[in-house]
Structure 1
Amino acid sequence: MGFWNQGAAQSLPMQDNEPVITSQDRLRAVSKAAWLTLLMLLLAVTITAICVLATGERNWVFALGLSILIPLLVTPLVVYPISCRNAALARSNHHLQQLARHDHLTGLFNRPYMLNMLERELALSSRHDYPVSLMLIDIQNNRDIIDRLGRHASDKALQRVAREVRTQIRESDLFGRVEGAQFMLVLPHTGLRDALRISDNLCRLLNRQDINTDSAAISLLTCFGVASTEHSSRTLQNLLNDADYALYNARKQNGAVVDA
């Protein structure tokens, strides 16, 4: 299956813009600068006092004044801009990490992340000897939704599927959008029998959903292809191919659940 043979990794476009510094970043920088200034002030005064006592310096007022003045002037000027930039960079990096593994429309995991996590789960299942089931979900009438109601209605359909499925699965399950109107659900510690029961329930739930616009409404038609390591090898490609073949057969039955 050509689609699954593509590499899992995707590169993000380079961004040349400087990270935007927000008011929250500035508040954090002020707080950090204040604490570090206080720390440097205490350290400088302590060291100066020890030196004055050890050397018997008579002009101790001047020395002590410098030990107070220098940290008060220098530390905020150095720490504040650095802290602002570091906070903005941290937030920007977090955002890029989210983009690297999440689908922007549904908020689900994207295809590269799902494939990486599935491969990891298969390795764990092989090591600890437990079953893993894979479910491919397709909005079969997505093209009809686009033609009759428009692209916005299709987006609503994708978001509806994402929202409804997420309410029905466990925290340990992995759910993502992998292509167009196709989703992937990875079920650790789940055999084929339980996976089919779950997919039957999801299929009935989703096929009752209506996508409405101001001018018309259309019901979702979804189909499911299910595969499990109980009846397939524990290799990523074989399990994907089995689930893909099951989904192909499910499409021919219109709104059905088919196992490999």
Structure 2
Amino acid sequence: MPRSARVIALANQKGGVAKTTTTLNLGVALKDMGARVLAVDLDPQSNLSMSQGIDVEGLEVGMYHVLTGQATVADIVHAREIDVAPAGIELAGAEIALAQMIGRERALERALRPVSELYDYILLDTPPSLGMLTINAMVAADGVIVPVQCEYLSLRGLAQLRTTLTQVRENLNPDVDIVGILPTMYDGRTIHGREAVDMLVENFGDRVYRTRIGKTIRFAEAPVEGKSVIRYDPSGQAARWYRQLAREVAASPIGVALPGASRVAAA
């Protein structure tokens, strides 16, 4: 029987918390477990697209055209390490264009329906804001993963995201919720880093992933080569972190039973 993809939004209105890094590397790790994965770039900065070597300046059609009804997702997909629905700078005008559309909050949800059965996971990389693009992602999503930098000010921003998510649940998508909190830029050698994780666990309990994404220069080097860190440095610590995260996601209620899961879990 055909099955619809699990749609997961990666969201945090704070920039620089590893949303794009997580979207790409989680997607590649899930693919290595046997999943069919599509990553959707919803950020006008186009970092996800560029991280897979896509020439965003020469892009003729992208997510802006999909959201405004000028193209379909299938029209724009680029096959890279995983399938990518890219974005160009014109996506910055999507907020204005969507404001004039009826059902504007559901533009992405409608666009994803025709390709839903082609994938096991659709990962949505959102911009660092809680505007219309992020709301579209929350409406389309089955769940939200929140990458959170392990510092006090980043934790405070979670309250605003939860408020927006509550409003989306009450008015647009009653089933969406935070399915995982991912500590990023974690340094377990510092008291501050450990305390930040403790605060996350205190507030979110078992929704905080056991995986901790630390710091390494590999995260900066890999996009220059147009690669995920898993392909750039497959035996490195950063690759191991994201493989561990993929196993957690696959084993969670938002996960999909995959043929390669047991093989990768044993690796």
Larger Rg: 1
What is the TM-score when the length of structure 1 is the normalising length? Answer: 0.26
1 or 2 for the larger relative contact order (CA 8 Å, sep ≥6)? 2
Structure with the higher helix share, 1 or 2? 1
What is the TM-score when the length of structure 2 is the normalising length? Answer: 0.26
